[in-house]
A and B are shown apart, each in its own frame.
Chain A
């Protein structure tokens, strides 16, 4: 048996003999298991529910009776985002953004009714997820068990005999790292379970493995850090104090300061201010409900000239439909411009925050996990874009039917008694313009490439800490 394995085994025996170590180990294992199981069940249920709701929403749209096409534009449609399989490990932004979006003519809704808004305010760090446990709290267990691996030998005065027997500092380091590595490996089993379960549900193997590895790497960073501090300090109290301070700073303080710094450096304008500004822009485009809005005078002249007629009533197409369609196009361009600006700003902010990942592995692993799981800001943005495309297409599809299937005269008389109302309807078969909406996560490669820079930082952190530990272990004296 190599010396490293022997040392590691001895360390494990020490842990297992300590009631406190066993107790904290057990508590964390239970927490991990319960959280993993609960989150997995929740996400599974949400996946089925959203898919079901999506189908229902489509069914409801298709089964609407014959009516005026513009009524259907306002009737609108719901789209849902099913959580990706890996959300069972890292639910990500879903609880903050909400998972459904209402689509209707002339406006872009933001995802409303996020879970977070009606969450009871019970303080603490909010609901637990496996990712939160791994990123926030598991480092504490590694600190508690890992800070003493060398110091224990020093305090029990076994370090001298060990080193004088020809066990070098490097041997000792490898052995202790192995012991901590085995600990990390054991603690990571629930994460491995999530990854495998996600793969079984159709997630790409490589993405779920990368997610698992990223989290193991993160725990490895804490193990290497605890080991280095254990080598470099002379008293357990001091080692624990230093490690706790590092934990408080990198996990609790730096990320939050980073958020404040990002929103101060790259402020976003409030929604109301944007709405006011956008309204000014939109008013210039004209009201698409009002075909006599002066903004559409040019359109009317052009059309009359094109078809060589004198009155809109004589046009072979429904002028009101054309106005609705034209104004939807212009309006969407404006809305999209504002939306894109906002998303770009959010990405810039996220980038600013991510830069703090250099000093806080917590931020790096959180970001990487969300990228890999497909529960990140980018995926949310793509959802918004795809939903917007779906919105634009069904609205314009309905406008097309409005132009071609409903005569201008009938349209103008739509409020003229019951008979007028009946004549201004089109066949319900036209509602088929709505296409089915199924949101799928980005490809594994796409997600991995987004996570690459954060993963690189994690690898760098790990390597630097291991090198530092090895170098100081070589100089280890009793």
Chain B
């Protein structure tokens, strides 16, 4: 082993690929850490602003209705300690919402639209390096392992000298790929120590990287025989990489999209808005009837006692009804999303690159499931907020700003 190790260190090409791997991993991890700390900082700032803003807003109101109308609530999904390794779905789905008592369907699809040019290029995070670049590095390290010796005329000499040829190639390949794994994982682990990621998560991730690299090692040794030239082997392996890392995932993506069509998201918002807008012109009973089906406890409190023709509880009731109208569409959108995610999970059984990326995102809590869970949290919090306000609106409690500030529900992400 020591002999092969010393031998490897004398190979300049190995140094080039290993240093590239280290630099890529280091860059990816530090960029990831930077992104996570920015997200944390933004959340901290938002939480602070949110509290101050709500305090001021509540203090300025005279009734529960306008309090509910004018106060916003921050909800957020803090990045996990391991999110630096895979930003994942957080680039596409919102991880923070500022919501209020109005119909939720009109608010929950708002998102921070990043520069579209950036989204086209993609992000340089560890998941990208590990799942797409690392296989290439394995290929570049190993494609000429045996064919190079053959071309140089050493293959027979080496195999005749060593007791077992196979063992020698495995140890040569194993050493190189282990060195690659070290080069990739050292920055990852360092990053984990900085951000305080759980040891178990880190260990699992390192394990996943090793298994993935081992897979590519076996594939390369299998598909790059000594009897072919190095150029032939590299071409075959680049083709294999292209197939497994680009073509198969692309086909899977498109297949899943076709198999599980989603309702047009715009329809959800439209349904909600039309319901809310129409309610102004409809008889009040038309609003209260569906509302009371959901909240029968307020059946005795819907009496109209404002001579101006406007009542906040009615206003929020038709906001609620707006959500209820859009519910089937919204529900099928979410079910579709989850279904697509489930299919993608199954599809990773036949696509190693997919499996690797999804594993990383699962560990980092940045996968589609995490995004769906967060959306669920927001919906739940919005429900809590509604319950809280309905109790005050329908019982016609007298507004007290201090009590409101003290007792109003706030979003707690740990609740998950």
Interface residues of A (CB under 8 A from B): 20, 24, 27, 31, 38, 67-68, 71, 74-76, 78, 92-93, 96-97, 100, 102, 104, 110-114, 116-128, 136-137, 140, 143-144, 147-148, 236-237, 240-241, 244-245, 248, 252-253, 255-260, 262-264, 268, 270-273, 275-276, 346, 349-350, 353, 363, 366, 377, 380, 414-417, 420-421
Q: Which residues of B contact A126 (CB under 8 A)?
A: 249-250, 253
* Complex: A112 Cα to B108 Cα, angstroms: 11
Query: Do B246 and A271 touch (CB < 8 A)?
Result: no
Q: Give, as a whole number of angstroms, the nearest-CB distance from A280 to chain B.
A: 9
Name the residue of chain A whose CB is nearest to the CB of B38: A267
Q: Give, as a whole number of angstroms, the nearest-CB distance from A330 to chain B.
A: 19
Task: Give the contacting residue for B309; candidates A102, A346, A415; CB below 8 A.
Answer: A415
Q: Which residues of B contact A420 (CB under 8 A)?
A: 309
User: 25 pairs across A/B with beta carbons < 8 Å?
Assistant: A68-B280, A78-B270, A104-B273, A112-B109, A118-B336, A118-B340, A120-B257, A121-B341, A121-B357, A124-B245, A124-B248, A124-B353, A125-B245, A126-B250, A127-B250, A143-B238, A240-B234, A245-B140, A248-B133, A252-B133, A259-B122, A262-B118, A272-B98, A273-B49, A414-B309
Query: Do B96 and A137 touch (CB < 8 A)?
Result: no
Task: Give the contacting residue for A264; candidates B34, B132, B256, B277; CB below 8 A.
Answer: B34
Q: Which residues of B contact A264 (CB under 8 A)?
A: 34
Query: Do B120 and A120 touch (CB < 8 A)?
Result: no
Q: Give, as a whole number of angstroms, the nearest-CB distance from B175 to chain A.
A: 19
Does any Cβ of A come within 8 Å of B358's Cβ? yes
Q: Give, as a whole number of angstroms, the nearest-CB distance from A214 to chain B.
A: 17
Task: Give the contacting residue for B98; candidates A112, A252, A275; CB below 8 A.
Answer: A275
Query: Do B343 and A236 touch (CB < 8 A)?
Result: no
Q: Give, as a whole number of angstroms, the nearest-CB distance from A240 to chain B.
A: 5
Name the residue of chain A whose CB is nearest to the CB of B369: A121
Query: Do B110 and A271 touch (CB < 8 A)?
Result: yes
Name the residue of chain B whose CB is nearest to the CB of A104: B273
Query: Do B235 and A123 touch (CB < 8 A)?
Result: no
Does any Cβ of A come within 8 Å of B347's Cβ? yes
Interface segment among B190-198, B224-232, B392-400: the answer is B224-232
* Complex: A276 Cα to B93 Cα, angstroms: 20
3 nearest CB pairs, A to B? A415-B309, A124-B249, A113-B265
Query: Do A272 and B96 touch (CB < 8 A)?
Result: yes
* Complex: A273 Cα to B43 Cα, angstroms: 10
Q: Which residues of A contact B242 (CB under 8 A)?
A: 137, 140
Q: Which residues of B contact A137 (CB under 8 A)?
A: 242, 246
Given A140-B242, A270-B112, is A259 in contact with B13 using a C-beta cutoff of 8 Å? no
Q: Give, as a whole number of angstroms, the nearest-CB distance from A459 to chain B.
A: 22
Name the residue of chain A whose CB is nearest to the CB of B109: A112
Q: Which residues of B contact A93 (CB under 8 A)?
A: 116-117, 119-120
Q: Give, as a whole number of angstroms, the nearest-CB distance from A20 to chain B.
A: 6
Query: Do B235 and A20 touch (CB < 8 A)?
Result: yes
Does any Cβ of A come within 8 Å of B354's Cβ? yes
Query: Do A258 and B250 touch (CB < 8 A)?
Result: no
Q: Give, as a whole number of angstroms, the nearest-CB distance from A135 to chain B.
A: 11
Q: Give, as a whole number of angstroms, the nearest-CB distance from A376 to chain B.
A: 8
Does any Cβ of A come within 8 Å of B136's Cβ? yes
Q: Give, as a whole number of angstroms, the nearest-CB distance from A398 to chain B.
A: 13
Interface segment among B77-85, B123-131, B180-188, B405-413: the answer is B123-131
Query: Do B117 and A349 touch (CB < 8 A)?
Result: yes
Does any Cβ of A come within 8 Å of B328's Cβ? no
* Complex: A104 Cα to B281 Cα, angstroms: 18
Query: Do A256 and B121 touch (CB < 8 A)?
Result: yes
Query: Do A96 and B120 touch (CB < 8 A)?
Result: yes
* Complex: A119 Cα to B111 Cα, angstroms: 16
Task: Give the contacting residue for B246; candidates A100, A136, A248; CB below 8 A.
Answer: A136
Name the residue of chain A whose CB is nearest to the CB of B360: A123
Q: Which residues of A contact B351 (CB under 8 A)?
A: 122-124
Does any Cβ of A come within 8 Å of B144's Cβ? yes
Interface residues of B (CB under 8 A from A): 13, 16, 20, 24, 27, 31, 34, 42, 45-46, 49, 53, 74, 88-89, 92-93, 96-98, 109-124, 128, 131-133, 136, 140, 143-144, 148, 229-232, 234-236, 238-239, 242, 245-250, 252-254, 256-257, 260, 262, 264-266, 269-270, 273-274, 277, 280-281, 308-310, 333, 336-337, 340-341, 343-344, 347-348, 351, 353-358, 361, 367-368
Task: Give the contacting residue for A100; candidates B13, B140, B266; CB below 8 A.
Answer: B266
* Complex: A122 Cα to B356 Cα, angstroms: 10
Q: Give, as a whole number of angstroms, the nearest-CB distance from B186 to chain A.
A: 19
Query: Do B53 and A276 touch (CB < 8 A)?
Result: yes
Query: Do A416 and B309 touch (CB < 8 A)?
Result: yes
Q: Give, as a whole number of angstroms, the nearest-CB distance from A238 to chain B.
A: 8
Query: Do A112 and B269 touch (CB < 8 A)?
Result: yes
Query: Do A256 and B128 touch (CB < 8 A)?
Result: yes
Considering residues B20, B246, B264, which has the most beta carbons from chain A within 10 angstroms of its beta carbon? B246
Name the residue of chain A whose CB is nearest to the CB of B76: A272
Given A122-B249, A127-B254, A260-B31, is A366 in contact with B341 using a C-beta cutoff of 8 Å? no
Query: Do A31 and B247 touch (CB < 8 A)?
Result: yes
* Complex: A46 Cα to B368 Cα, angstroms: 26
Task: Give the contacting residue for B109; candidates A92, A113, A122, A258; CB below 8 A.
Answer: A113
Task: Give the contacting residue for B115; candidates A124, A263, A363; CB below 8 A.
Answer: A263
Q: Which residues of A contact B231 (CB under 8 A)?
A: 147-148, 236-237, 240
Given A119-B253, A119-B257, A241-B140, is A415 in contact with B113 using a C-beta cutoff of 8 Å? no
Q: Which residues of A contact B254 (CB under 8 A)?
A: 38, 127-128
* Complex: A263 Cα to B116 Cα, angstroms: 12
Given A67-B281, A273-B45, is A259 in contact with B121 using a C-beta cutoff of 8 Å? yes
Task: Give the contacting residue for A349; candidates B111, B118, B280; CB below 8 A.
Answer: B118
Q: Which residues of A contact B266 (CB under 8 A)?
A: 78, 100, 102, 112-113
Q: Give, as a whole number of angstroms, the nearest-CB distance from B129 to chain A.
A: 9
Name the residue of chain B whose CB is nearest to the CB of A262: B118
* Complex: A270 Cα to B116 Cα, angstroms: 15
Q: Which residues of A contact B234 (CB under 8 A)?
A: 144, 237, 240-241, 244
Query: Do B27 and A257 touch (CB < 8 A)?
Result: yes
Considering residues A112, A237, A346, which has the most beta carbons from chain B within 10 angstroms of its beta carbon? A237
Known: A120-B256, A124-B353, A237-B148. 6 other contacts (CB 8 A): A120-B252, A123-B358, A124-B132, A126-B250, A263-B114, A346-B115
Q: Which residues of A contact B273 (CB under 8 A)?
A: 74-76, 102, 104
Q: Which residues of B contact A262 (CB under 8 A)?
A: 115, 118
